Structure 1
């Protein structure tokens, strides 16, 4: 389709950020489409310069243009950075971008607005409500419906509660999410519902009496029985039948809430998914094996599969195949492991579940069912591990936990006990042995909130997330609201043409996804063989990324000509923030490469490709006010000059913000904690002064990797579908 030349306003600012391109009359939110500068204003439209059409009726385009005056004003209003110094008009050719038709697996209205270059949708796929044992024993009363209301921007009350049922605290998102999923634990969901419902036979059992009167004791007893004994509790009757029957009611309520708040209209404003958590544990070392299950649509199994039903990952996959993916209907699921940092190495052992070497069939099953991994959440980051003198990447010292297991055993973590970067390299080794990479997963993050508050990931508003077995209270406890080593969690981001279940599920399947530690950073990552060095300056850089390369989550096919090296288009934009809490500028943009040599040795390298690690940015620990320079947008084209076409490799990008106060430091500073005078420290704030407390964080975003393998053959590009 032929394009036409149109006027485009280019705005220069005085903040030293170089050139900022502003287009159209819409706000910065639509810049996620990435047609131009990712932080600046852009929109999807069918109108052209000064009202002239860019494309025939019905054909979407990637940009809307404006006069220089209008563009400069739009940039100023959007806070593109500094004072607008000058604006000039340039001419570019805008070619309409065809959008593939979205196939729906369920009845719904087609989305009225679709992004030609895809849009970043922010959400949370790890949310617990009153039906999870650990949440309910801590006083959580949030229902699945209320969790979705919260995700859409409504205020929700949270514990503690007064005697007449009034919440003593509340939370509200400053910006609604685009999607969310309630993922209550499959284990014990029937027991919890039974113990809270007088009509059930087991309500008066000693186990339920313990649950209602000594919640902390019940938390440990119930969990021990489910994970260590792999059985239902005594009040459940023969074969657990009473509790399985009781589980049907909350499972149906989870489905009904997802249906009620899913926007099936053409507006496509909010998407819900039906899902749950499978909560396994390695009894030999306390290693976490937890996984979240996401369903494509409302076609789901009769009941969730629990660790009691399927006490190994491959048995979970078999159950999903039998009850969903293998059926002749529209049911489809995928599995997202989380907290491999807590797994003591048991989640990704490099072996089959029975300890035997992986077969190609087993590796393929794992790769199919588990296309994503949750790299960041309330209980720490799982990207990589830092220990002075052992590993080199100091940015790995980010939300590390002091132990490597979820059972609380005093065993410190090590680089090879489940951290994702090492696991990605293990996948390359296994691929060399059996021909299939079982660990070819993309990256997302979520909160793992146990308050029913999806997306509550801001450091300055953190009220804890629960999930640590703390008993319910009748008044707000003093001091820090959560365990010191825990954090507010992160967000999952999916690149899709529209906000519908099928479009977002497709994005998960193809791994065009990334993770953030909470901020709404926008990240793009493309790999190819011919990206020019000046591609970042091109208005159509994203179109060319798709046309001449592959996006995050893909497999890059081997070079067509000998001697060629892969090139990468890497771009990120800071979170624009809100009026009361502006986003933090970026400090640097990195590419992480991992590869395996001819001897099977694993290697990794971290490359700063844009920004400045020594930009002088800092934060005052008493006021938490930041200072120094940073970047609204960062972009680079990086070529791997050390590329060996005979070596398997993976690449992903990491965008890092300037330093800010961690949630704990904000509270310590607000409470006036003086570590030099311990006697003045108020109750509950002792953690402010322990050696393990890290007062500063650098929030970040991680893209899904792109993989290269010599076995992928020749050709310009290849993407795994």
Structure 2
């Protein structure tokens, strides 16, 4: 299917999924009339917290690490039910339990689609192939089988992407043409759909929303190109299009355009994650044939990918903070992995190489502005969400305290309780996706994703709003109708500023943040300050700047890392209306807000303190806790939120 055909089908899909005109979907400035069945409908929208990146036993990496939690248990956990997690006794009893202190509003199980069938065959004795050499090896040596199945099978990690778009061969036990594994894949895919339907609250209470989804898992030569595929409804393709069948993002979009038809009620979007580990591939500016982007490609990418995951278990993908003109940003050191692809975690950081500036979303947003000047369309027009990437079936388990690890790229607890830290020192608990929507339903939440009215958090739950416009009142923070006035006078996060109403006018941006109130037994820190990050193009060159607009980054807040007690003042709320002092109407730009809390102990420090580790005598520190004294990693963390950007496009 050609790119033009893909774009046309995608446009139909987007309009159907959002249920409104393109203009309204893009701006988000006109909330729809109240016609909902939800009891807690809010015309000016409300924040819903969720996790759109969750793995269960159906993902081969989770399965080989001992995860036996399925989608049904994962959705119950997301709603507050206690869950037993690995390791397990020979009788199948869990040796650990975990529970959310606050339930989520929505979630999606996104298991790796590529090896659905292989995992099902090797774990189901009733299926042909269960006693194959490969499956016997899978059960006898799961850690080694993970490597074999990924490197020598479909090559999800070990091989470059095929040229010409041909499919990737499977292991021999899958049968001629891989048909046995393709057929077996239908069973987990069916269960994923059934779980999503079973736990979607369709009552007037609208307590919990599920989305059918999966992960498209391409990592040629260990360079991450992964996308989570999220469907708008229960109408989904018969079988997911994986990296095996569609070994390039363009091929994935083409397949979805053919199998997820809007006239049948199917809507879909893809959410890239971990660009920080993509080795220069996620935001490359050439298509799969090696040609420069065309306008059709840019339109298709913008349409299919309105969001990106800026933070999760495997680090942040916001910025690298390379030293240089306009690039120094101390906050870019937050949860920054020290390597550029999966070789860094599977082999060594040195074998991988250092991270690349162009693999981070801030750099991609700037490149998107440049591409827009060349093509007329911005291919990298991303809003932001966070998620966990848990491989334990524990959506939303993202707080630092009591962190059990997430498996996957982190440490495995298949056979025994972790002797030291529960995860690799460079990893973290991950974050949350927050969507501004009228109600907690699939239609409303999916529409929020489409228009990018979303923000990411590093795991806490502050409430953040961000508006931009030419006529926002300077006193908007004092208004009792902050949201209504913001929508009326501008556009929310994810939107586009219209053309300036006249010469000499500068855009104003209003940011409001309320601290996470926390819950009993789980303290949350007050807010510290708010920044606005701007990127722009001037004379063909890319620039960025960070502006302090509210609060005080030097407020004296501190952490006693021997006890994890925090001290110092902060803010229960912050609000500011900021006018860009450096605005030039001839320069396209983007703006997003970053809200930071007072510092607190990192997950690793909490575990080191609980274990009584003292780095005063390094020789006395047990080997399993050696990373407690690793000076390359901070002992504290500043939890934060990132809003989706607001864009300004200069007249051409």
Q: Structure 2-normalised TM-score?
A: 0.91
Q: Does 2:287 match 1:355?
A: no
Cα distance, 1:671 vs structure 2: 1.1
Is 1:151 aligned to residue 78 of structure 2? yes
Question: What's the secondary structure of 2:264's corresponding residue?
Answer: coil
Aligned match for 1:334, one of 257, 263, 269 = 269
What's the secondary structure of 1:431's corresponding residue? Answer: helix
Aligned partners of 2:397 and 2:429 also within 8 Å = yes
Matches within 5 A, 1:242-321: 242-283=180-221, 286-321=222-257
The Cα RMSD (Å) is 1.6
Matched, 1:139 2:75: no
Q: Which runs of 5+ in 2 are unaligned?
A: 1-28, 160-167
1:160–1:475 Cα contact (<8 Å) kept = yes
1:440-493 residue CA offsets vs partner (Å, 9 max, x unmatched):
110000000000000000000210000027555332121001111000000000
Question: 1:654 maps to what in 2?
Answer: 594
Shift of 1:180: 0.2
Cα separation, partners in 2 of 1:481 and 1:125, compared to 1, 3 Å: same
Please state how far the C-alpha of 1:351 moved relative to its aligned partner.
2.0
When residues 334 and 98 of structure 1 are mapped into structure 2, their CA distance, relative to the original with a 3 A threshold, is: closer
Match of 2:474 in 1: 533
SS of 1:180's partner is strand
Once the two structures are TM-superposed, the CA of residue 617 in structure 1 deviates from its matched residue by: 0.1
Q: Does 1:680 align with 2:620?
A: yes
Work out whether residues 525 and 552 of structure 1, in 8 Å CA contact, stay in contact via their aligned partners in 2: yes
Distance in 2, matches of 1:388 and 1:594, equals: 16
**Equivalent pair of 2:342/2:352 in contact (CA under 8 Å):** no
- 1:273-317 Cα distance to aligned partner (Å, 9 max, x none): 00000000132xx21000000000000000111111000010000
1:387 deviates by 4.7
User: Does residue 1:186 correspond to 2:113, yes or no?
Assistant: yes
CA contact (8 A) 2:339 2:355 kept: no
- Provide the C-alpha distance between the structure 1 equivalents of 2:357 and 2:634, rounded to a whole number of angstroms: 23
Identify the match of residue 122 of structure 1 among 16, 25, 49.
49
Give the secondary-structure state (helix, strand or coil) at the position aligned to 2:53: strand
- Counterparts of 1:195 and 1:395 in 2: how far apart (Å)? 45
Change (3 A) 1:537 1:387: same
Aligned mate of 1:170, from 88, 97, 121: 97
Q: Distance in 2 between matches of 1:597 and 1:198?
A: 63
CA distance in 1, matches of 2:321, 2:615: 26
Residue 25 of structure 1 is matched in structure 2 by none
Q: Is the 8 A contact 2:71 2:393 kept in 1?
A: yes
If asked which structure has higher relative contact order (CA below 8 Å, sep 6+), I would say: 2
CA apart distance, 1:618: 0.2
Name the counterpart of 1:514.
455
* Residue 40 (structure 1) aligns with: none
Q: Is 2:441 the counterpart of 1:500?
A: yes
- Map residues 366-377 of structure 1 onto 2, 5 A cutoff: 366-377=301-312
Distance apart, 1:681 and its partner CA? 1.2
Instruction: Give the structure 2 partner of residue 632 of structure 1.
Output: 572
- Over 3 Å counting, the alpha-carbon distance change for 1:561 and 1:417 in structure 2 is closer
Is 2:30–2:487's contact at 8 Å kept on the other side of the alignment? Answer: no
**What is the CA deviation profile of residues 210-233 of structure 1, one whole-angstrom value per residue up to 9, with x for unaligned ones?**
111101110111111222453211
Match of 2:32 in 1: 100
Aligned mates of 2:613, 2:413 — CA distance in 1 = 27
Higher mean Cα deviation, 533-542 or 169-178? 533-542
Say which of 495, 498, 503 aligns to 1:562: 503
2:321 counterpart (368, 371, 386): 386
1:669 aligns with: 609
Show CA shifts across 1:176-198 (max 9, x none): 00000000001111100110000
Tell me the distance in 1 between the aligned counterparts of 2:456 and 2:412: 31
Distance 2:628 2:227 in 1: 32
Separation of aligned partners in 1, 2:405 and 2:169 = 31
Displacement of 1:579: 1.5
Conserved? CA contact 1:137–1:469, under 8 Å: no
Alpha-carbon distance in structure 1 between the residues aligned to 2:134 and 2:396: 34
SS of corresponding position for 2:633: coil
Conserved? CA contact 1:153–1:173, under 8 Å: yes
Contact 2:591 2:647 in 1 (8 A): yes
Q: Which residue number corresponds to residue 323 of structure 1?
A: 259
1:605 aligned onto 2:545: yes
Offset, 1:416 = 2.4
- The number of residues matched between the two structures is 607
Q: TM-score, normalised by structure 1?
A: 0.82
Q: Distance in 2 between matches of 1:187 and 1:591?
A: 39
Structure 2 residue 423 is the aligned partner of structure 1 residue 423: no
Q: Does 1:619 align with 2:559?
A: yes
Instruction: Give 1:694 shift.
Output: 1.2
How far apart, CA to CA, are the structure 2 residues paired with 1:411 and 1:521? 35
* Aligned pairs (5 A) from 1:414-493: 414-468=355-409, 473-493=414-434
Higher helix share: 2
Separation of aligned partners in 2, 1:213 and 1:469 = 21
Q: Distance in 2 between matches of 1:527 and 1:349?
A: 30
Q: Partners of 1:388 and 1:666 in 2: how far apart?
A: 31
Paired with 1:196 and 1:417, the residues of 2 have a C-alpha distance of: 41
